[in-house]
A and B are shown apart, each in its own frame.
Chain A
Amino acid sequence: MFSYFANPVRFQNLCRILVPVLGIGALLLIVPAWVMGLFLVPPDYQQGDTFRIIYVHVPAVIVASLAYAFLAGASFVSFVWRHSLADTAAKAAAPVGAALTFLGLFTGALWGKPMWGAYWVWDARLTSTLIMLFLFLGYIAIRSAIRDEVASTRIAAITAMIGAINLPIIKFSVDWWSSLHQPASLLRAGGPAIDASMSWPLYMSIAGYACLFGWLVLQQMQSELDERRAYALVQRASGRIASKASAQSKGNPDA
C-alpha cells in the first residue's frame, strides 16, 4: 500500500514539469509546422500541392508505431514487475495510439487516391498499420471486457505482447506476398530525397505529435491516479463509518 502511494507522488512531481513542457512543445511545433506545410513550403515538382498531406500523415503513422512500442514496453514492465504505474501508462496510451493509427490510415488513403489512383493498396506498410489498429482495438476491448482489476491488467498486458510479436511477422508475410503478386514499385515512388525547406516542417510535426502523445498520456495517467485515489478514500471512509455504526449498535463506543 505504502509503496503504491509513494511511487505516484514522485510521478506527480515529474508531471508538474513534464506536462507543461510537452504541452507547449506540442503547440509550438505542430501549429507552425502545419502553417508552413500548408502555406509557405513550395509545391513539390512531382506531386504538386498534394504532398502537403505529408505533414499530417507521416507524423501520425510514426507516432502511432511509437505508441504501440510504448504500449508493448509498458505492458512488459507491468507484467513482469507488476509495476502499476506502467500499467496505467499502457492503459492511457492505447486509445491515443488507436486514434493516431486511424488518422494515419485515413490521411494515407486520401493521399493515395490522387497519387497512386487507389485509396487502399495491400502493401506491407499499409497492411501492418491496419493490423496495428486491430491490435489497439483488441487491447482496449479485452481490457474493458474483463471485470477483475488484476486479471484485466495482466491479460491485457499479455495481449499487447502477443501483438508485438505478431507485427513483424505480418510485415514480413505481406512483403513476401505483395512482392509476388503486385508491382511493388507503386508505393516506393515516394520521390527522391526532399528539399530541406520541405523536410524541416516534417521533422517539426513529428516531434510535435510525439510531444502531444506524451502530454495526452501523462494527463490521462494523472486523471486515472486521481480517480483511483478518490475511490480509495471513499472506500476507506465508508469502511470507517460502517465500523463506527456497528460499534455504536453494540453500545460500545470505545471499539
Chain B
Amino acid sequence: MTSAITGLIGREIRKAGRSGGSWAQGAVFFILFTVLSAFALGPEQEFRSNLAPALVWLAASLASQLSLDRLFAEDLRDGTLECWFVDGQSLVEFSIGKFISHWLVVFTPILILSPLAALMLGAPVSILALTFISLAIGGPALVFMGGMVSALTANLRGSGLLIVLISGPLLAAPLIFGVGAVQTADIASSELKILGAISLGAMVIAPVIATLALKVHLE
C-alpha cells in the first residue's frame, strides 16, 4: 500500500473522529434493524433463531450502504478530488483509500457488533463466530460495491435512494453466499470460499470502475 493511500486513510479517520459521531450511524442502524426485526418476528425463540443469520446479514448489508452518498460527493464539491488528480496522483489509489476508510469507519463497528446482534435474535452460540467470519470476509464486497456506485452518483445531491436502486442488485450475490455460509455451520464451506472470491473480485473491479466514473465528473 502506497503512502498516498495510508495518508488518505489517516485523514479520513481523523475527519470521521471530528464529525461528531456520524460514523456511528451505520452501527446504530444495524442494531436498530435487528431489534425491530426481533419485535416483528415475535416471541417464538426457535423461529427467530432460524432467521438470525439472514437478518444479521441483511442488516449489515443495508447498514453498510448508509452514508455512501457522501463518500465522494464532498471531495468532488470542495475540490479535494481535483487537487489529487491535478497532482498527478492515481484516482485508483484515491478510490481504494476511500473504500478502505469507509470499511474501517463504518463497517468495522458493524462487524464487531454482529455477534451481539445475532445473539439478540436468538442465534445459537455455535454460529456466532461463523457470523463474524462470514461478515469479515464478505464485508469488502459490500463496501467496495456500494462505494463504486457512490462514485457514479458523486455529483448528485440526495442520491441515497438512487444508490440503493443501483447497488441493490449487486448485493444479491454476497447476501446469498454470506447467509448460506452461516447456515452450513462449516468453516471450510464452499459458500465461504465463493464469498471470498466475490470480495476479491469486487476489490479488483470496483476501484477501476470508480476511477472511470470520477474522471467523468472531473471532466
Contacts and interface: CB of A to CB of B under 8 A. Distances in A.
The answer to A–B direct touch (Cβ < 8 A) is yes
Interface of A: 79, 127, 131, 134-135, 137-138, 141-142, 145-146, 148, 150-151, 154-155, 158-159, 162-163, 165-166, 169-170, 173-174, 176-177, 180
A155 B152 contact: yes
B159 A155 contact: no
Given A158-B212, A162-B209, A173-B177, A134 B170 contact: no
B169 interface: yes
A177 B176 contact: yes
Given A148-B155, A151-B219, 9 more contacts: A137-B165, A146-B153, A151-B216, A154-B216, A155-B153, A162-B149, A166-B170, A170-B169, A173-B172
Contacts of A170: 169, 172-173
Contacts of B177: 173, 176
Interface in B163-219: 165-166, 168-170, 172-173, 176-177, 180, 194, 198, 205, 209, 212-213, 216-217, 219
B162 interface: yes
Contact of A159 (B166, B180, B194): B166
Given A154-B216, A165-B205, A166-B170, A138 B176 contact: no
Contact of A134 (B169, B194, B213, B219): B169
A96 B166 CA distance: 19
A217 B217 CA distance: 29
Contacts of B219: 150-151
Contacts of B159: 145
A180 B183 CA distance: 11
Given A145-B162, A151-B155, A131 B217 contact: no
B55 interface: no
Given A158-B209, A158-B212, A162-B170, A145 B153 contact: yes
B148 interface: yes
B156 interface: yes
Contacts of A154: 216
A89 B155 CA distance: 25
A131 B171 CA distance: 11
Nearest to B217: A151
Contacts of B170: 162, 166
Given A173-B177, A176-B176, A135 B169 contact: yes
Nearest to A153: B216
B165 A134 contact: yes
Nearest to B219: A150
Given A151-B217, A165-B205, A158 B173 contact: no
Interface in B45-99: none
Which of A127, A145, A174 is most buried by chain B, counting CB atoms within 10 A of its CB?
A145
Which of B162, B166, B177 is most buried by chain A, counting CB atoms within 10 A of its CB?
B166
A155 B176 contact: no
Which of A154, A159, A162, A177 is most buried by chain B, counting CB atoms within 10 A of its CB?
A162
Nearest to A174: B176
Nearest to B161: A141
A151 B219 CA distance: 8
A151 B217 CA distance: 7
Contacts of A165: 205
Contact of B176 (A137, A151, A158, A173): A173
B216 A155 contact: yes
B153 A142 contact: yes
Contacts of A137: 165
Contacts of A174: 172, 176
A163 B173 contact: no
A145 B162 CA distance: 9
Contacts of B176: 173-174, 176-177
Contacts of B173: 166, 169-170, 173
A180 B156 contact: no
A138 B165 contact: yes
Nearest to B180: A177
A7 to B, nearest CB: 22
